[in-house]
Amino acid sequence: MIDTLRLTAEEAKRLLEAREISGAELFAAYRAAIDDRDEELHCYLHLCDDPGGDGLPIALKDVIGTKGIPTTAGSKILDGYLPVYDSTVVERLKAHGLRILGKTNTDEFAMGSSTENSAFGPSHNPWDPSRVPGGSGGGSAAAVTAGLAPWALGSDTGGSIKQPSALCGNVGLRPTYGTVSRYGIVAFASSLDQVGPVARTVRDCAFLYSIIAGRDRSDTTTVELPQPVELPHAEDVRGLRIGVPRELNEADGIEPGVAAAVQAAIARLEELGAEVGECSLPLSVEYGLPCYYLIAPAEASANLARYDGVRYGYRAAAEERLEMYERTREEGFGDEPKRRIMVGTYALSAGYYDAYYGQAQKVRTVIKREHDALFETFDALVSPTSPCVAFPLGARTADPIAMYLCDLLTIPSCMAGLPGLNVPCGLSEGLPVGLQLIGPQFAENTLFRIGHALEQAIGFDPVPERLR
Amino acid sequence: MSGAAGERVFARIGVVAIDREQLLHVAHLARLELREGELERLQGQLNDILEAVSKVSELDLSDVPPTSHPLDVANVWEDDEPRPCLTAEEALANAPEREGDFFKVPPGGAA
């Protein structure tokens, strides 16, 4: 009997290679778990049949284009869309023999922090189904935690991998901007979007990253990794200097239970040999969120212009062309994409461009410089990933700004193109608390090393109590 | 997180509220046909959001260059060689309506 709740990808790979289990048995075990639990959790929007072979199964966030497999981005406007080509990351997974279990739920166009903006209904947190799994990649994160996939891919613009991983209690990496191809990914905000892995262990996360990372000639913003991915094994962090930015650790709204779990983990890092020091990001945290909520909607308003009912996706019935465009977009988009399209269009419109978008791009420079300066002293920075644990469904849907604040701590480093790793570090109110590790560009190996050592030392049980 | 915490993060500074006429203008630029009711709700939310994000104008950044991309990458050159691309049939596979090798759309209306 395969226990998909505890099986790591690394162990599954070993069992397959030793022929202790077959590829078909492994795939079937995840399908059985999905049949068993996904009616309640709604992690998947679409399930795939076993294509055969002995590779590991994987779940993909539904913004990742898959040839011949529906790709909706959680939006009615892409309902029924069947991509005619694979995204580069999917080509790389297939080249490694990986088999797609299905497509996972997401806030519409990855805009949200709870999956409640999905046009197909929210996903639920495996620790407590009355609560959200985080977002936008809540489907991928909940699927991994609930044993409905050994690992998954997500995408992160301002926290959509790290925040759901924090709320579901698993490991999620937002890679350095440019290390993973965006070719074939449904675009949200192109200067911020990054695909990345979600897994049950840091080693699995690192391994999956090694498969998808690297330059792609179909995405000219990609670069080759300066050094290969190293699977972490050391159980200490001796010689590493870790900074604790005051503003990221003491921000208004960080729940006491979250702060306590993160502080305990920081103390653990010191015991493991790290040199820990306080530091400051005075402007990045204060101005990060307003900066993000100008740049991301501005880029989104341009990217979402392609949904016009002409070439693919939903088309509303209309007599005239302009009417067709406007009605298609009115009926096809949900509230959050509309809000962001409107904010972005306004911020880019004549007379406002310099004051909003131009100024936000300068703030972005300030944020990047502040982080760069800290990395002259520190190898990595640490903070909570999310200010709060998983919150009840419906708790933040009425107030867009309350939802935006979920990403307060993940956004600043995203603006600077930096990698960030979420590692579970304990429980608060019986729900997982995530710790965020931020490194300089291309420092994924350092983050994996720290994350792995911490994971071993803490011994967090990633299986929700109610499923044990 | 309470609304009070939100206000501290997104400090409220004076911006001119967006009126109904502007809202309709922006909706037209974005090719969105907003419905009654939706229009009123969006107007309130948009004003809250714009007021919040206009916090970026507090900083004097006249000497700071803008960042449009987080990596220091310059132009990327490739040899100008044809590569396989989508066939017309593939490109049209998801068309809501087609005629021969064309996407078909309703006539008329401005752009």
Quick: pLDDT tens for A162-217. 999 999 999 999 999 999 999 999 999 999 999 999 999 999 999 999 999 999 99
Q: Is A383 helix (H, G, I), strand (E, B) or coil?
A: strand
CB A322 to CB B31 under 8 A? yes
Percent helix / strand / coil, chain B, rounded to 5:
40, 5, 60
Single out the residue of A211, A194, A205, A198 nearest to residue A110, CA to CA.
A194
Average the pLDDT over A315-337 and give the result.
96
Average the pLDDT over A354-362 and give the result.
94
- How many Å apart are CA A171 and CA A50, to the nearest integer? 26
Report chain A's mean pLDDT, rounded to a whole number: 97
Q: How many CB atoms lie within 10 A of CB B57?
A: 16
Q: Which of A123, A155, A160, A413 does the annotation list as catalytic?
A: A160
CB B70 to CB A441 under 8 A? yes
Q: Which two tokens stand for residue A3?
A: 């226990």
Residue that is written with structure tokens 């005239």 in the block: A320
Asked whether the predicted pLDDT for residue B3 surpasses 90, the reply is no
Going by C-beta distance under 8 Å and a sequence separation of 6 or more, which residues neighbour residue A401? B6, B10, B48, B49, B52
Q: Which two tokens stand for residue B54?
A: 């206009």
How do A241-245 and A275-279 pair as beta strands?
A: parallel
Is A383 among the catalytic positions? no
Q: Which two tokens stand for residue A291?
A: 């900066």
* Element containing residue A329 per DSSP (H, E): helix A321-332
Average the pLDDT over A302-329 and give the result.
97
Is A61 among the catalytic positions? yes
DSSP string, A41-72: H--EEEE-----SSSPEEEEETTB-BTTB---
Average the pLDDT over A368-376 and give the result.
98
Which strands, in side-by-side order, build the sheet including A275-279? Answer: A44-47, A99-104, A57-61, A151-156, A194-199, A171-174, A420-428, A431-438, A380-384, A241-245, A275-279
Is A136 among the catalytic positions? yes
What phi and psi, each to the nearest 5 degrees, are found at residue A185? -95, 140
Among A62-71, A372-381, B46-55, whose mean pLDDT is lowest?
B46-55
- How many Å apart are CA B70 and CA A178, to the nearest integer? 9
- How many Å apart are CA A401 and CA A66, to the nearest integer? 33
Rg of chain A over Cα atoms, rounded to whole angstroms, equals 21
Asked whether the predicted pLDDT for residue A388 surpasses 50, the reply is yes
Asked whether the predicted pLDDT for residue B5 surpasses 70, the reply is no
Amino acid identity, residue A73? A
- How many Å apart are CA A97 and CA A103, to the nearest integer? 17
Q: How many CB atoms lie within 10 A of CB A10?
A: 18
Asked whether the predicted pLDDT for residue B4 surpasses 50, the reply is no
Residues of A in contact with B109 (CB under 8 A): 320-324
Strand locations in chain B, DSSP E? 98-99, 102-103
Q: How far is B21 from chain A (nearest CA, A)?
A: 13
Q: How many CB atoms lie within 10 A of CB A295?
A: 28
- For a pLDDT cut of 90, what percent of chain A falls above it? 97
pLDDT tens digits for range A399-437: 888 899 999 999 999 999 999 999 999 999 999 999 999
Q: Which two tokens stand for residue A18?
A: 């030793």
- For chain A positions 320-349, those within 8 Å of chain B (CB to CB) are 320-327, 329-330, 333, 338-339, 341-343, 345-347, 349
CB of A417 within 8 A of CB of B17? Answer: no
CB of A307 within 8 A of CB of A332? Answer: yes
From the number of C-beta atoms within 10 Å of its C-beta (0-12, 13-18, 19+), residue A311 rates as: middle
Asked whether the predicted pLDDT for residue B50 surpasses 70, the reply is yes
Q: How far is B79 from chain A (nearest CA, A)?
A: 11
Going by C-beta distance under 8 Å and a sequence separation of 6 or more, which residues neighbour residue A366? A283, A284, A287, B59, B61, B64
Among A115-119, A120-124, A260-264, B81-85, whose mean pLDDT is lowest?
B81-85
Please report the pLDDT score of residue B1 as a whole number. Answer: 39
Asked whether the predicted pLDDT for residue A243 surpasses 70, the reply is yes
Distances (CA, A) of A8 to A57, A154, A423, B2: 12, 18, 15, 38
- How many Å apart are CA A171 and CA A199, to the nearest integer? 5
- How many Å apart are CA A118 and CA A106, to the nearest integer? 6
Please report the pLDDT score of residue B12 as a whole number. Answer: 43
Asked whether the predicted pLDDT for residue A135 surpasses 80, the reply is yes
The DSSP code for A355 is I
Average the pLDDT over A277-303 and give the result.
97
pLDDT tens digits for range A259-279: 999 999 999 999 999 999 999
Please report the pLDDT score of residue B73 as a whole number. Answer: 78
Please report the pLDDT score of residue B72 as a whole number. Answer: 81
CA B100 to chain centroid: 33
Average the pLDDT over A132-160 and give the result.
98
Q: How far is A243 from chain B (nearest CA, A)?
A: 22
- For a pLDDT cut of 70, what percent of chain A falls above it? 100
Please report the pLDDT score of residue B74 as a whole number. Answer: 79
- How many Å apart are CA B100 and CA B89, to the nearest integer? 10
Q: Name the residue among B46, B53, B66 with its Cβ closest to that of A290.
A: B53
- At residue B15 the predicted structure's pLDDT band, cuts being 50, 70 and 90, is low
Q: Which two tokens stand for residue A397?
A: 């849907």
The DSSP code for A431 is E
pLDDT tens digits for range B27-44: 999 999 998 889 999 999
Please report the pLDDT score of residue B2 as a whole number. Answer: 41
Pick the residue from chain B with its C-alpha nearest to A360.
B56
Asked whether the predicted pLDDT for residue A350 surpasses 90, the reply is no
Q: Name the pTM for this structure.
A: 0.96
Is the CB of A401 inside 8 Å of chain B's CB atoms?
yes
Please report the pLDDT score of residue B16 as a whole number. Answer: 64
CB pairs under 8 A between A and B: 207
- How many Å apart are CA A88 and CA A91, to the nearest integer? 5
CB of A206 within 8 A of CB of A171? Answer: no
Taking each continuous run of H as one helix and of E as one strand, the counts in chain A are 15, 11
The DSSP code for A304 is G
- How many Å apart are CA A75 and CA A162, to the nearest integer? 22
Q: How far apart are the first and last CA of chain B?
A: 44
The DSSP code for A358 is I
| ipTM (interface predicted TM) | 0.90
